[in-house]
Structure 1
Amino acid sequence: ATRTETLPDDADPLYVLERYLNSIHYVALPDLPRFVGGAVGYIGYDWVRFLEPIGDDTEDDLEVDDVHLLFADTLAIFDHVRHRLKALANAFVIPGGDIDAAYDDATARADGLLATLVAPLSTHLISHSDTGEAFRSNMTPDTYREMVLAGKEYIVAGDIFQVVLAQRFSRPVHADSFDVYRALRSLNPSPYMYYLALDSGVTLVGASPEILCTVEDGTVTVRPIAGTRPRGRSPVEDARLADELLADEKERAEHIMLVDLGRNDVGRVSQYGTVHVDELMVIEKYSHVMHIVSNVSGKLLPEKTPFDVLRATFPAGTLSGAPKVRAMQIIEELEPTRRGTYGGAIGYFSLNGNLDAAITIRTVLIKDGIAHVQAGGGIVADSDPQAEYMETIKKSEAGRRAVEVAERGLDTLFQPASITETVGSRWNRLEIETEVATRVLRTG
């Protein structure tokens, strides 16, 4: 059934969803996954305007929804480790309602889903539509470097300790958006892979490495990522770059600052004395970059909900800065356009009370035939403008390459330009696939 509710202009739209989910009493069953149905989709960076006074100075050129969530009551769940598929359909019973009818409806939905899944697929031809068009930024390299210098002036003045400044790369795209996802999944497999084709005309294709926040069985977790180096072209170079990253005083100081911010965010919704740093400054490696990563957790206060956790942690300090509100005000002043989905969250609010939200980074947004990839760098007092500019180039590379590969045709994916590239790219791809598989096994 369709339900429409009109809110005041300044009212947080998530309160409607929160009230609805809180009205549902979910009966837990054994052996069900973390997500059993509920709301799934994205919350854009600009949703923060409902939470904090960050100003309204930038152009909304993308014109995407601040929040777009789908309510899922019937799911196909694929276990990538055990290679098993499960169909799940929720039966909703209103007080005094017909339980048998609700059960029959859920059974019919599950059977219908399974019938769809086993039906023969239509042939999907590989498209070759590359027009040779290049990605173009929404600012020149000099403009980005000047933006970094302006951010550093605020740091010297004592307004902030850090600010994350981003640029956006765009180009026309003619390839099937799912081919972009398939290319990205091969180029940059990550803990969070997603493909969302929405009726608003927006498609999100992403490979995010970073948790914004999770709530599972009453435990709140954030996992800040800060500190970046490119991947090496051999195991020896890769190890050297990892050691160099961990020894870099600037990167270490920036990371510790964001760990402290994460502890503060988790502490706002956690029981006193339960906030812990479970992992501190470990290296995680992905296809094009490696990062310093830490893990912070706490026990959720009984009176708090997953929505409170999202509000306490949004947006990530690794995509805004510290102190968070002042950093966002400076972002509003310095960046030329609204961020849209970039730097927000993508994930779910489950009927069983779980929340899992990734930060919307390493993501391609496709709208009106244009692919957009955005990336930023954390600016601190001793940041080098050129190095920060190159970091945004490297962070956006997987998304840009995925679009280019989909345009040329997926059959070109494993045709590198040189023997050196063959050795480096295959080694990196093999290692990251092993790491992601290990992480999946460890977490669930």
Structure 2
Amino acid sequence: VPSAPAAAFDGEAPPDVYETAVAEVTTRIAAGELFQANIARAWSGRLSAGRDPFEVFLRLSVERGAAYGAFWRLGERALVSNSPELFLTFDPASGRIETRPIKGTRPRLPDPARDAELAADLVASAKDRAENLMIVDLMRNDLARAAAPGSVRVERLFDVESHPTVHHLVSTVTATAAPGVHAAEVLEATFPPGSITGAPKHQAMKVIARHEPPRGPWCGSLFGLGLAGGGELTASVLIRTASFEQDGAAWRWRALAGAGIVADSDPRAEREETDAKIRALKEALAGL
């Protein structure tokens, strides 16, 4: 088995810094400033000399490939994404718009019985369901900006999706585009994704900016337009994503993981959630 492409996987700040940020955000929520904000942690490092970002993508794909995983490179920059989250699909022929926000997470465990218990606990969790529902409502509002009146629907609510390292709570919101609306208008109405900003969206982004430097590509979107020959759009949320920049003979990388912070968030539990979310990238990059 080839060695891991990176020798280390180092956090950019100690774990307690993240827990302090979570506590500060819960105080703002209690004061009525907002309902939810997605707060992230970052890790960064360098690939060993002669190693390439595509190796990281292959290591992820072997056992942990995700539905919206992707590799993108342009010159000295590259993205490796193992995203399970659909931001948007848009079919101009039918006018159908669909989004599937993720909110609510539990780690996967090797023991099948315990693993099933965690999935059941996720479904039953009032906190996680409330967190998910806030973003469903936000995405309904966003889609309505590009949709025919009365066409926005919640087709599925609180489905469990099980991935190699985590269980997620996922909902599906759909709409029919208003006349004259094309892919660009759909993106304009909904970007950035509500699941990785918070509610209300603009206030959540202000709170995020207090605690994080610019995120770069992470939690943006990678999309294909017209890949089937028309104006179809498929866009992912760039979670579980590492960005790379070539620096001489080696590549520098940065990866992030976040959690949706709500009124009853526990700082340590939210930090542990980010550990679960970054696990697959950590293993692919550093073999840890």
TM class by smaller structure: over 0.9
Quote the Cα distance in structure 1 between the aligned partners of 2:24 and 2:217: 24
Structure 2 residue 172 is the aligned partner of structure 1 residue 326? no
Quote the Cα distance in structure 2 between the aligned partners of 1:306 and 1:296: 17
Matched residue, 2:42: 168
- The 5 Å alignment of 1:220-299 reads 220-299=97-176
Letter in 2 for 1:210: E
Letter in 1 for 2:9: F
Quote the Cα distance in structure 2 between the aligned partners of 1:128 and 1:327: 40
Cα deviation per residue 1:137-165 (whole Å; 9 max; x = unaligned)? 22111111111111112101111000000
Matched residue, 1:370: 252
Indicate which of 73, 92, 113 corresponds to 1:197: 73
Structure 2 residue 194 is the aligned partner of structure 1 residue 317? yes
Q: Percent identity?
A: 38
How far did residue 399 of structure 1 move?
A: 1.0
Change (3 A) 1:277 1:129: closer
How far did residue 235 of structure 1 move?
A: 2.3
How far did residue 187 of structure 1 move?
A: 3.3
Contact 2:29–2:263 (8 Å) recurs in 1? yes
Matched residue, 2:185: 308
Structure 2 residue 231 is the aligned partner of structure 1 residue 349? no
Quote the Cα distance in structure 1 between the aligned partners of 2:211 and 2:90: 34
Quote the Cα distance in structure 2 between the aligned partners of 1:252 and 1:224: 12
Quote the Cα distance in structure 1 between the aligned partners of 2:64 and 2:174: 27
By relative contact order (CA 8 Å, sep 6+), the higher-ranking structure is: 2
Matched residue, 2:85: 210
Cα deviation per residue 1:258-281 (whole Å; 9 max; x = unaligned)? 111111111111111211111111
Q: Output the TM-score relative to the length of structure 1.
A: 0.61
Quote the Cα distance in structure 2 between the aligned partners of 1:248 and 1:167: 24
Cα deviation per residue 1:162-218 (whole Å; 9 max; x = unaligned)? 00000111121122222111101123211112111112x111111111111110131
The 3-state SS of whatever aligns with 1:393 is helix
Indicate which of 244, 262, 275 corresponds to 1:380: 262
Matched residue, 1:186: 62
Quote the Cα distance in structure 2 between the aligned partners of 1:403 and 1:233: 21
Quote the Cα distance in structure 2 between the aligned partners of 1:222 and 1:398: 24
User: Greater Rg, structure 1 or structure 2?
Assistant: 1
Letter in 1 for 2:281: G
Contact 1:127–1:176 (8 Å) recurs in 2? no
> How many residues get paired?
278
**Runs of 5+ unmatched residues, structure 1:** 1-125, 409-444
Change (3 A) 1:129 1:153: closer
Quote the Cα distance in structure 2 between the aligned partners of 1:399 and 1:128: 15
Quote the Cα distance in structure 2 between the aligned partners of 1:282 and 1:129: 34
Quote the Cα distance in structure 2 between the aligned partners of 1:374 and 1:147: 15
- The 5 Å alignment of 1:10-159 reads 128=3, 133-159=7-33
Contact 1:289–1:395 (8 Å) recurs in 2? yes
Letter in 1 for 2:233: L
Structure 2 residue 215 is the aligned partner of structure 1 residue 339? yes
Which structure shows the bigger proportion of residues in strand conformation?
2
Quote the Cα distance in structure 2 between the aligned partners of 1:152 and 1:128: 41
Quote the Cα distance in structure 2 between the aligned partners of 1:255 and 1:194: 25
Quote the Cα distance in structure 1 between the aligned partners of 2:149 and 2:199: 23
Indicate which of 173, 177, 181 corresponds to 2:53: 177
**Runs of 5+ unmatched residues, structure 2:** none
Quote the Cα distance in structure 2 between the aligned partners of 1:387 and 1:128: 32
Cα deviation per residue 1:290-340 (whole Å; 9 max; x = unaligned)? 1011101011111222111111111111100000000001111121x1100
Quote the Cα distance in structure 2 between the aligned partners of 1:256 and 1:315: 18
Matched residue, 1:48: none
Letter in 2 for 1:384: D
How far did residue 403 of structure 1 move?
A: 1.1
Change (3 A) 1:144 1:214: same
